[in-house]
A and B are shown apart, each in its own frame.
Chain A
Amino acid sequence: MPALPGRGQKSAWNPSFWARFLACGAALVLAVPALNFWVPPDSPAALPDYLIPLLGKYLCYALLALSLDLIWGYAGILSLGHGAFFALGGYCMGMYLMRQIGTRGVYGNPLLPDFMVFLNWKELPWFWWGFDHFAYAAVMVVLVPGLLALVFGWLAFRSRVTGVYLSIITQAMTYALMLAFFRNDMGFGGNNGMTDYKDILGWDVHKPSTRLGLYSASVFALGLGYLCCRFISTSKLGLVLLALRDAESRVRFLGYSVINAKLFVFTVSAVLAGVGGALYVPQVGIINPSEFSPGNSIEIAIWVSVGGRGTLLGGIVGAILVNAAKTWLTGAAPETWLFVLGALFILTTLVFPRGIVGLMRRPSRIRVPAPTPVPAGEQA
């Protein structure tokens, strides 16, 4: 039988994909240490030590943007609270790092972190139990954002909250969490958050070799996250997600459970965001409630749209480029950054709605939603 045009002619997992994927991964893992270690420091190609955690930070943002692209670009769920999942993953890691300080804190208290001594806490609250162990903290990094997404998503999707209403309640969620984490009584360091980390898994977090290790871990996490998102988007479930972005009620009449599909992908996305946050915290050295601020979450959507939504790669490219521009510009001309960011968003929406990656791909390979996403069939 002649090959039918349409999907599935060429596997998404063909050798050429793997070659490109592994080449990018190898370049990221090998080039950075090579430029840092072997190139003489006075050479223009040399990579100074301080840039390594910065690059690691961009990769964590890239994982966060990837997680948003999975739900926004494919399922049409625009979460404007994704920074919350990132921050929760970060807090779990922060708690582990605080416990590693031990008696080396300012107060030298063997039982309590510094901020608890300062606030006159007498004993360690129950939710801090277990965070001495890396494995426990690692499980929490996945579990806490995942469970929040599961419960929040179940409530929202069961009530069929979609579109802009969903965006608004996700904003409210991250704002509420920010206010909660600002409170000293919560037991997460209040306004100041958690900082002054010493070790991770026994290695000094300030040493260049540890930072290279964290950077490499970020590359691996991003690579795994990308494979995971690609697996979902190229499956039949990926097709269901695209379909429900276009005409949600029609998907129900075809016999698919819209709530299960959305809940699954929303939870996976929150877990990826949480992992990004957990790798971010040891590299920037602090976690505080400002990570929950609604503006942060909106910025993620800008990274994704600049990079090109519904492409997976776009989230990664957008996050790295926009943040590199931010680092440079907030140094060179800090007062202009917000204007540039706003202009970038408007420009993307008006001039190249498919984003950077969308511009480079053949139109047939992109899944850009119709300009006005009025769900057909909702009115039928």
Chain B
Amino acid sequence: MKTAKQLTEALLYLNGVTVSFDGFKALNDLSLVVEEGELRTIIGPNGAGKTTMMDVVTGKTRPDSGEVFFRGTADLSRLDEAEIANLGIGRKFQRPTVFENLTVFENLELALADTRGTWIALFARLNLDRRDRIAPTLARIGLDKQSGQAAGSLSHGQKQWLEIGMLLIHDRTLLLIDEPVAGMTDRETEETAELILDLAKDRTIVVVEHDMAFVRSLGARVTVLHEGAVLAEGSIDHVQNHQRVIEVYLGR
């Protein structure tokens, strides 16, 4: 699955990616580079292609043209969702998607970074070692008291954290987080920003978000998408003063 030559040093490399749905170009010759260890925020108006970009990276959508490489070697446009996940790319959806009928503990157990194969999973029973690995994550996302509860009974914010916890425990190299604070209270938003900054210390994270205050609180490099392509890129101050960005997005 790997090409012989490493094309780029970047962790995530998109070059000239185009995706169209019934003639509508959701991504239009998009090029984007994310370096290892970076925290990147992506903003843009509705329909700018933010979610489609994540779909392409995680294998849900195949690009019509263009290159998508992970670590410069793995061609993501040829792999399926499970293979990409096992390369170490995790995704948090816009709407919290946890397994509602499983307990918080079981949700994390499924996300543990081992026993992915069908045969191995058949013979895998929960052992103490794994239990020890789940406990710190429960504490880190603040859900240790809810461990035995069905995930469906959690509040909206708690589900978002659980989903982040599931990405955490899998030891992903690259996390794609889609609108983590949508529908959260101010307090939950603050806590989420802290959690993401904490996570960013030892992994690469790409966050898509609408909430400008939240984006500012992350203090990371910002990419503005518009009509399926990059409109501007730079610090939060740079993009907020960018003439075209104000016109199409912020100035409304």
Given contacts A243-B102, A260-B118, contact A370 B152 (CB under 8 A): yes
Number of A-B contacts defined by CB within 8 Å:
128
Is B97 a contact partner of A250 (Cβ separation < 8 A)? yes
| In the bound complex, CA of A258 to CA of B82 (Å) | 8
Q: Which of chain A's residues has its CB closest to B163's CB?
A: A250
Looking at the complex, which one of A236, A252, A254, A256 makes contact with B124 (CB distance below 8 Å)? Answer: A236
Is A254 a contact partner of B170 (Cβ separation < 8 A)? yes
| In the bound complex, CA of A240 to CA of B110 (Å) | 7
**Interface: A184 (CB within 8 A):** no
| In the bound complex, CA of A260 to CA of B121 (Å) | 11
Taking CB atoms, residues of chain B closer than 8 Å to A261 are 118, 121
**Interface: A152 (CB within 8 A):** no
Q: Which of chain A's residues has its CB closest to B178's CB?
A: A380
Is B124 a contact partner of A255 (Cβ separation < 8 A)? no
**Interface: A239 (CB within 8 A):** yes
Is B118 a contact partner of A264 (Cβ separation < 8 A)? yes
Count of A residues near B, CB < 8 Å?
Answer: 40
**Interface: A122 (CB within 8 A):** no
Is B97 a contact partner of A370 (Cβ separation < 8 A)? no
- Minimum CB–CB distance from A374 to chain B (whole Å) comes to 11
Of the listed stretches B130-138, B201-209, B214-222, B225-233, name the one at the interface; the rest are far from the partner chain: B130-138
Given contacts A5-B148, A6-B105, A252-B85, contact A236 B115 (CB under 8 A): yes
Is A7 a contact partner of B105 (Cβ separation < 8 A)? yes
Is B97 a contact partner of A380 (Cβ separation < 8 A)? yes
**Interface: B240 (CB within 8 A):** no
| In the bound complex, CA of A234 to CA of B122 (Å) | 9
| In the bound complex, CA of A367 to CA of B101 (Å) | 7
26 A-B residue pairs with Cβ-Cβ distance under 8 Å, sorted by A, are A4-B147, A5-B103, A5-B148, A6-B104, A7-B105, A231-B122, A234-B125, A236-B121, A236-B122, A237-B122, A239-B102, A242-B102, A243-B99, A243-B110, A246-B99, A246-B100, A247-B100, A251-B110, A253-B81, A254-B110, A255-B116, A257-B82, A264-B118, A264-B122, A370-B101, A376-B100
**Contacts A243-B99, A255-B86 given; 11 further ones with Cβ under 8 A?**
A5-B105, A8-B126, A237-B122, A239-B106, A239-B110, A250-B93, A250-B98, A252-B82, A255-B170, A368-B101, A380-B93
Chain A residues packing against B (C-beta within 8 Å):
1, 4-8, 11, 231-232, 234-237, 239-240, 242-243, 245-247, 249-258, 260-261, 264, 367-370, 376-377, 380
